[in-house]
Amino acid sequence: MENSTEKRIYLSSPTMHGEEQRFVAEAFDTNWVAPLGPNVNNFETELAQYTGCGHAAALSSGTAAIHLGLKLLGVQEGDVVFVSSLTFSASCNPIVYEKAVPVLIDSEPDTWNMSPVALERAFEKYPSPKAVVIVHLYGTPAKMDEIMQICAAHNVPILEDAAESLGSTYGGKHTGTFGRIGIYSFNGNKIITTSGGGMMVSREEALVKEARLLSTQARDPARHYQHSRIGYNYRMSNVDAGIGRGQLMHLDEHVRLKKAIYRRYQEAFADIEEIVMNPLNPGGDANNWLSCMTIREGCKVTPDMVMDALEAENIESRPIWKPMHLQPVFAACDFINHNDGRMSVSEDIFVRGMCLPSDIKNTDADMDRVIGIVRGLFQR
């Protein structure tokens, strides 16, 4: 229970710079405050240039981007879709929107992302899934070489959920650009924000054009209002896109600051053998969106104890995502374990892990506060 008068330290809050306001002011000055407009067009172009994704459609959320991506990959009722279990529910919910069947895939310990071992087992059990949804958890790239090789051998497309990993690369290539379709999120706590929003990207221009059509209620090119199929109100507003354009100008700066936070924790806890920071993929370059830690099994200190101690000092932290196979809403879904007959990797990470404050506005004094509280628990 909070009892501190110290200033609040956040997990990951928006950081505005000033350019955002200029682009938003242009939207107001030109009366482009509805969906679509110059900011939307330019935000799509600028993000496509930054990531090398080819083409981009600015949407109302990352969830909307996943939903349209699945539809464009032909996912329909009854189809099987493989998806990471250790993720936020937004990675899985759109599968159910289409009445398809999520099959939840465990993590591997090296990066906490989808296990190639479990993915192979999933293909043995379900030879013909419609798509595979890969999540780059907390900004760390998955083992894309292995995963892409497996999916290519089975001729199954990948939808990359890079909601948390904008600015991360694997083998020098941006996450979100490996699969046939990729998505990004600009929710308020992401590495850049549009307040709320997302982007669907692809090297296939036809897919992105189709996403733009579906996201604007699938209106036919007729003078009157005519619709030949069901569409969605998923387009990003010109105002939100203005925020995104200003934020994108500072993405590299945000990544640099997030990395510095991770390194600071890593160095600060190096002498505490019970603490292990979330692993990074040596084949990639993570944006370190959130810095996380696990506590070795058998330690008297638990993640709940750490989070309670931080909250008592007005400091926000958070549990690791509860795996989807442990969620009541997905209890009936099949789960493919990385470990034979033992606790899954994803459950183990959830039980022993937590997310540390990773706000890029944290000062040295803020970091000292957090680190001091955590270290104090392990030195009693």
Domain count, the chain: 1
Residue 311 CA to its chain's centroid (Å): 25
Q: What is the pLDDT of residue 1?
A: 44
- Exposure of 319 in the CB half-sphere (CA atoms within 13 A): 16
Q: What is the pLDDT of residue 259?
A: 98
What are the CB-based long-range contacts (under 8 Å, 24+) for 283-286? 283/141, 283/143, 283/145, 283/170, 283/171, 284/140, 284/141, 284/168, 284/169, 284/170, 284/171, 284/175, 285/141, 285/168, 285/169, 285/170, 286/138, 286/139, 286/140, 286/141, 286/165, 286/168, 286/259, 286/262
Phi, psi of 201 (to 5 degrees): -130, 155
Q: What is the pLDDT of residue 2?
A: 47
Q: Tens place of pLDDT for every residue, the chain, 380 residues?
A: 445 678 999 999 999 999 999 999 999 999 998 778 999 999 999 999 999 999 999 999 999 999 999 999 999 999 999 999 999 999 999 999 999 999 999 999 999 999 999 999 999 999 999 999 999 999 999 999 999 999 999 999 999 999 999 999 999 999 999 999 999 999 999 999 999 999 999 999 999 999 999 999 999 988 999 999 999 999 999 999 999 999 999 999 999 999 999 999 999 999 999 999 999 999 999 999 999 999 999 999 999 999 999 999 999 999 999 999 999 999 999 999 999 889 999 999 999 999 999 999 999 999 999 999 999 999 87
Q: What is the pLDDT of residue 4?
A: 60
Ramachandran assignment for 354, one of left (phi > 0), alpha (psi -120 to 50 degrees), beta (any other)? beta
CATH number of the domain bearing residue 175: 3.40.640.10
- What tokens were used for 321? 């995502």
* The model's pTM: 0.96
Determine the residue type at 164.
Answer: E
Could you read off the pLDDT of 322-341 as tens digits, one per residue?
Answer: 999 999 999 999 999 999 88
- Exposure of 274 in the CB half-sphere (CA atoms within 13 A): 15
DSSP state at residue 356:
P
Question: In terms of C-beta density within 10 A (0-12 exposed, 13-18 middle, 19 or more buried), how is residue 224 classed?
Answer: exposed
Q: Which domain holds residue 105?
A: 1-380
